[in-house]
Each structure stands twice: as C-alpha cells, then as structure tokens.
Chains A and B, each alone.
Chain A
C-alpha cells in the first residue's frame, strides 16, 4: 500500500507512526513490535524509490534501523529485522554516507553485526557489506583493513551461507574495479567519476591465499546439480574476477598452488588446482600466460581421462577457456598448432562421450576451438580434415538419451552452429548434407506427443534449437553463389516446416523461426514471393507482439529482408505492414529498443516500393520529425541513453535515405517541404559531441541523397547553410574509407546543384 500511496503524497504519517513503535531511551517497546516494525520499514524501503522519502524521514528510518542492529539490542530477531531493513535502506543513505561521522557509525554497526552470535544476523550484515561495496565504493578506503579481517575470518571459520557473502563482498569490489578500468581505457582522457583505489591489488597477497583455500570445499554432487552454489564455486568465481581486475600480478600467487595440487591423489586437490588455473586465464597478458598454457596443455588433455568426474568437468572447462583466450587469428602467442590439433581433437571427440556434465564442457571447448578459426582466408580451414568427425560427434551427442541433462543437447546444437559458421568451401557439401538431417529432426518435433507442460517446454526448446541451426546453415550457404543452391532446393520444405512451427506458442521458437525465415528470404531473393501469402499472417503477428519485444524486433528486421528480396512485389503487403509499424511506434508498451529499427524499416520499404510510398508519407514523416525533435531535446544522462540516441538517429537517417532514393525521379517534389527540417536535424546531429560513426555515415548519406533527389530546388537551402561544408570537410579527411567516399560523393552532388566548384 505504501508503494502506491507514498509516491502520490498520501499517507504522510506512515513513517512517523511506524517509528513510534520503536520506542526511545525512556520507553522500551516489546521486541515483537520492534521486529514487525523493522520488517515493515524494510519492505517500505524496498518498494519505494529513494526520491519519495524526505531526508528527514530517511534519517529517522536509519536511526531506528541502526539502533535495532546495535549490539545492545538483546533480541536476535530484532537485530535480524533491522539488518535486513538496512540492506533495503542503503540506497536512501547517500547523504548519510557523505557525512564522515554518520558513515563511520553505520559502518561500525554493520561490522559489529558480522560478529553477532546469530548466523542469520551475520549473513544479513555481510549482505549489507556487499551492497555497500557496490553502492559506496568511493567511501570504503578507511574501512578496508577491518573489512578484510572480518571477511577473512568468515571465509575461514563461518557457516557456508555467511562465508559465501564474505566472498561475494570481494567479488563485488572486483566488479567495481573492472568497471572503473573499462571506463578509464574507453575514455582516453582518463576521467572517471569514481576514484580507482586498487583495493584488490593491495589486498592481493592475502586475498588470493584466502580464495585458494576455499577451492577444496567442493560438494560431491556439485556438477550434477543445476543451480548448485557453494564456497568452492564462489571462491573460484571470485578468483576469476580478481585475475581480470589485476592481470599479471595474480599469476605468481596462483601458479605454485596449481603445481603443488594438480597431481595429488585427492580429487579435491586436483579439481581445485585445475579450477584455479582455468579461473586466471582471462585478465593476465598473453605473453605471461602462453608459456604456462603451452606446458599445461598436454597435462590437461591427459587429465580428461581422470578417474573423477569433477576433475574432468573442470579440465574440459579449462580447455574451453584456453581456446577462448589463447587461440585465434588475432592472438599473438597461439597455443594451438598444426602439430597439436589432431591430438586435441582426438581427446575432445572421445571425451564428448563422457557423462553429460563433462560432455557439455567438451562442447564448449569445441565451440571456442572452432571460433578461433573464424576469420579464415577462404583457404581450407585447419579444422577441415576433422570437420566430418566433429559434426558427426555433435549429432550423436544431440541424440543421446541423457542429452537433456546439464544443457548437453543445447550445447551440442550451439556448438554445431559455430562449427558451421567457420566452415570453408571445401566442407560445404557436409554442411549441405546437414539440411535434410536437421529438417527431419524438426519435423519429428512436430509429431511429438505433447501431454504435459513439461512436454511442451521440451518440444519448444528443441524446435528453437533446430530453427537456430537451420538459420545458421541458411546464412552460411546462402552467402555464397556457389552454395546457395543447397538452400534454394530445400526452400519449400523448410518454409513449410517453419510455418508449422509458428503454430506452437513459444516466443523463443517464433523468434528463431523468424530469424531463419529472414535468412531464407535473403538467400532466395525474389523467389521468396511465393511464400508471402501463407507467411504474411505470422509476419503481422510478430509485429503485433509488444510483450515479447525480441520477437517484434526480429520481425521488423525480417520485413527489411523481404523488402530487399521482393522489391516492389512486396507492395500488396505494405498497407498491413505500415499500419502495424505505425502502431508499434505509437505504442508506449513496446520496448524502446525496437523503435530505431522500425525507422530503418521505413527506409527499406520506401526503397523497395519507390513512388508507391507516397501514400504513407503523411503518416511516416510526422513520426520521423517527432522522433528527430525528441532526440534533439534529449537530456543525456548516461552512456545507455547516448547509445540509444545514436541508434534512433541512425534509424531516422536510414528512413530518410530510403525515402529520398525511392522518390528520386517521379516524386521528388513530395520531399521539398521537409528538406529544411531534415537539414536542420543534420546540423543538430553534427553539433552533438556524442555522435557515433554510424550516425555520421548515415547523416552524410542523407545530405547527399537530399541534394541528389531534390536537385537544384534544394540549392537555396545549401547556400543559406554554413555547417555542411565543415561537416563534409571533417568526413573527407577521415581515415574511414567508406565515410570519406560517401562524403566526397555528397560534396560533389551538392556542388553540382549549387553550381559551386
């Protein structure tokens, strides 16, 4: 009720009357009343946003909460309720954390609560510390020594739920420092709003041993249980974050542990050592890691035959990390060579037959191994000799009876996707042979008996995966004229399957089928027209899907594919499509990320149907102008909004380009009334310091399209304008060849119509 009423300025007495329940120095209130009151305050703080409560109310709540947490409070239930309430009130405490004395007091009470005799209170107090670590990183310096001491004690001695939170504190500090570093490196001025204290680097000599100690506290069943989380997992995850935060410095602290434990008789030691090694593979530099990995690789491959399942699981995961970070066309010291590749694949293709959890990690390793060969030169890939065996092994894996465990089936199909993506011309036949195989599997899912919600879920999951594989294959084979026929010949059968798949009500399946259809439209070109009558209703359904906005977004993209494939043959469907796109744009329900692609889609439609776009102009132009004005007035608050604004502007420019190009010749005069506004918008974007490269390219393109389409009638506009020369100058001196050439073309077009130069 408070969540509804307080934002409307109602129930002003709520906080005051709750606080009265807490009593005071002279008036002791019953423990159960204080507990219930603190729980209520906690819920109120959780539900109500920070700006709703006056600072005075925040101060009173914090005073009551901190009083309830104090060691002098005799009831553990009250202390627990108070600590939980503080967790929810921390977002409100900005002003209090600015004040040294108030902050010291809150921190002292939280730290004392981590020593409470009640483990529930200790756990809640550590949860508060985790939240403070993220929210008030810049205020932590004076407390870090004490915090290290109490977290260290908890990790070593306390019950697991408490120890987990103590580890989480360090993970959250890593998150903060990784983010700060990313901010520094992305912005060459070196400015960051948050100071960088390097807490992790300072704590490293003590922190790493503490984390390593957790790694041998595994659970017997951890790799078989979905959602398992224990101290060893938390410690290893934290170690991975530490490596990302400090880079090379972590290596000498971890490697002795790895070397000492990796061959011990106790499986816990072997698994822990492997996990430690795998965890530090992201962060340190390649020259630092490569020699270590080169030595370790053979050992890892033989460890895939370890007698213990957990050791094999972690070893396969580590191999995946090695391939992810130390293998690829841009990797300076690649660890995979022509010489060791056969051995690696022999081991992986043998181990993929292991238990589902191990096999799933092996799929991951094959995925990253394949990914490393992505930017091939067109010559046969080093993987080509093994291609058939890899594909075969993955297909066999998808058919395993236990493939439903540990996400194995999903991992196998997704790995198959990557293997197809990196395939080269010499293995195209094998990829083509996959089409009927996957179609047959998809057909099989349509005949599955569905008796329960569980069956339905399994069916949807499988259909989504298979549509995904078909999409990847269509895209791969459709991209080359020499292999396109492999898709075209199955076009009718595939389309018929996709249409049947739409009858199953699952957003993910719809999205995957839609993506596959987009790829098919791209590959088959004008021939796709024959499917339009049957497909149109699903296209419209996708555009109407506000709730599952990804489906809507993907469908908008497919409309673009269809426009490019069908050209003016798309016209009979355009009334319906445009009506729906305009509704989408006007909707408050639809996720905002879908709106920029809708504008781009206007451009696709206009370019496809040319002068026939005239009848949509009176609807589309106000939308475009409105969005342009809105984007110009936007008060930029964060990077996300900057990014969105750039996407929106690119979409608007792509729409204008399509419309100008479509109207060139017969209907150019229709755009004359809009030209001034469009140039004004381009000027506005030119002045924007946050303008990105895509926006620049699109803006320059529109400027040339405007001049080219309107011809001399646009000359006065350019002659009255100064900015365009500066903008074009900036672009013609760019290092980006495409931008430079578009700008040169735009300049020569403008000069032509204005008779300059």
Chain B
C-alpha cells in the first residue's frame, strides 16, 4: 500500500560498491580465457593465426 514515507526512496550521496565490479571483472576474465583457448584450438587446427 501507499504510505511508505520514512523509507528513503533513493540513494543519498551514493557511495562506492565494489562487489558487482568484482563479479563482472571475474566474468570478463573467464570469458576472455575461454575465447583465447578456443581461438588457440583453431590456430592449432590449421595454422590460422588468431588476432592477438
């Protein structure tokens, strides 16, 4: 119901929040490692030179 006064509806002077960033960076590292490994397998397959 309405009448939610007293609960801050918004973040005041937003401070840092690093947790999501840690997740995202880990995920990006994993994605990159997977891509690199699959590219490497293709390189081995036919002497194809993958982009660095």
Contacts and interface: CB of A to CB of B under 8 A. Distances in A.
Interface in A44-87: 46, 83-84, 87
Interface residues of B, number: 38
Contacts of A46: 1
Contact of B38 (A43, A161, A361, A661): A661
A159 to B, nearest CB: 10
B5 A361 contact: no
A654 interface: yes
A360 B46 contact: no
A43 B3 contact: no
B42 A708 contact: yes
A84 B1 contact: yes
Given A607-B38, A745-B48, A87 B2 contact: yes
Nearest to A233: B12
A84 B41 contact: no
A661 B42 CA distance: 8
A372 interface: no
A411 interface: yes
Interface string A498-533: 000000000010011001001100100000000000
Contact of A407 (B15, B37, B39): B15
B16 A364 contact: yes
Contacts of A114: none
A128 interface: yes
A701 interface: yes
Given A708-B45, A738-B51, A87 B37 contact: no
B1 A42 contact: yes
A654 B19 CA distance: 27
Interface in A343-368: 360-361, 363-364, 367-368
Contacts of B50: 738, 741-742
Contacts of B42: 661, 701, 704-705, 708, 742, 745
A542 B31 CA distance: 20
Interface in B1-52: 1-13, 15-19, 22-23, 25-27, 29-30, 33-34, 37-39, 41-42, 45-46, 48-51
B23 A554 contact: yes
B16 A414 contact: yes
B30 to A, nearest CB: 5
A375 to B, nearest CB: 14
B19 A88 contact: no
B4 to A, nearest CB: 8
A166 B37 CA distance: 56
Nearest to B12: A233
Interface in A114-170: 120, 123-124, 127-128, 161, 164-165, 168
Given A661-B42, A701-B42, 19 more contacts: A84-B1, A84-B2, A87-B1, A168-B9, A228-B8, A237-B10, A314-B13, A361-B15, A367-B16, A515-B23, A518-B30, A550-B23, A557-B26, A557-B30, A564-B34, A661-B45, A741-B49, A742-B39, A749-B45
Interface of B: 1-13, 15-19, 22-23, 25-27, 29-30, 33-34, 37-39, 41-42, 45-46, 48-51
